[in-house]
Amino acid sequence: MDLIISSATHRSGSTMLQRIFNSRKQTMIWGEHLGCLKEFCIIYNKVKTFSINSRRERRNYFGSNENPNHWIARITPEQHLVKESIIESAKVFLNTLYTSKDHDVIGFKEVRYGKEEITLLRECFPNCNIILLVRNPIDSWRSLSNTRWNESTIHEYITKWNNHVSFYLEFSKRDDKAFLIKYEDIVSRDKDTMDLIIKLGKLDMSIVNRVLNRKIGSSETAQLSPNITQLIKNSCSQNMIELGY
């Protein structure tokens, strides 16, 4: 796995960025997979709980030369083995799903991942470049709320945006292969942002411009009430200020 795009929420430009990278023939950035890595995290948390809770069972069983006359109903391997198994399982799943002999840069994009999933991805792929994509929450909600498939309430959206963006900001500061990119800097063709995209994608600016000059899959923006706009500003103010919104 070479390049992963993780967007804080829907309608933040992940497909546009995917199209930019895929304009290079040797690159294949696959689409969303409905956040299936969340299931790996759920499995890990379930098995980890049994591993922690069965410490006494393990100790008693192995301390008695594996005497079967001990209660062993929940006996589970040590926690580090639980973690290793999840990392290996997720890595094999993604590498097998997205294998390709025709591309030298392979990855995917997703719009549902926060701290647990990104942490797992980094443990699976230590050398993979991860783009953390964010957009002004007022604009992304304006775009999202006008789609027929949106099932989030405004409060659910605000919680997700804040949680994901807070982690993205923190993670990008300590991981030298994680890059925080703002949607607005892509569409405005900010030089530093363009230079980074070109470097990560092995592109040139003419290719990037061809993609940015053509909109695909855009939705009409909804009119937000002043109350909703103010609610987003008030609830997301800390992260918005840090991002320069």
How do residues 69-109 score in pLDDT, each as one tens digit?
999 999 999 999 999 999 999 999 999 999 888 999 999 99
* 3-state SS, residue 107: strand
Low-confidence winner among 21-25, 82-86, 124-128, 221-225 (lowest mean pLDDT): 221-225
Mean pLDDT of the chain: 95
Low-confidence winner among 72-81, 102-111, 206-215, 227-236 (lowest mean pLDDT): 206-215
As a dihedral over the C-alpha atoms of residue 100, residue 93, residue 183, residue 236, rounded to 10 degrees, the angle is: 180
* 3-state SS, residue 146: coil
Q: Domains in the chain, ordered, with CATH?
A: 3-43+80-243 (3.40.50.300)
Instruction: Return the pLDDT at 221.
Output: 65
Please name the amino acid found at residue 77.
P
**pLDDT for 13 beyond 90:** yes
d(CA 8, CA 49): 28
Asked whether the whole model's pTM tops 0.85, one would answer yes
Contacts of 56 (CB under 8 A, 6+ apart): none
**pLDDT for 214 beyond 90:** no
Instruction: Return the pLDDT at 37.
Output: 97
d(CA 227, CA 223): 12
Whether the CB-CB separation of 29 and 5 falls below 8 Å is answered with: yes
Which of the four pLDDT bands, split at 50, 70 and 90, describes residue 215? confident
H or E stretch at 174: helix 154-174
d(CA 72, CA 182): 52
d(CA 62, CA 220): 64
Instruction: Return the pLDDT at 146.
Output: 78
**pLDDT for 145 beyond 90:** no
Kindly list the strands in the beta sheet with 105-110, ordered across the sheet, starting from the edge strand earlier in the chain: 27-30, 105-110, 3-7, 129-134, 178-182
H or E stretch at 106: strand 105-110
Query: Buried b / exposed e across 180-212, counting CB within 10 Å, b at 16+?
Result: bbbbbbbeeeeeebbebbeebbebeeeebeebb
Comparing 236 with 220, which gets the higher pLDDT? Answer: 236
d(CA 24, CA 18): 11
Contacts of 193 (CB under 8 A, 6+ apart): 181, 182, 185, 186
Which of the four pLDDT bands, split at 50, 70 and 90, describes residue 217? low
Instruction: Return the pLDDT at 151.
Output: 79
**pLDDT for 7 beyond 90:** yes
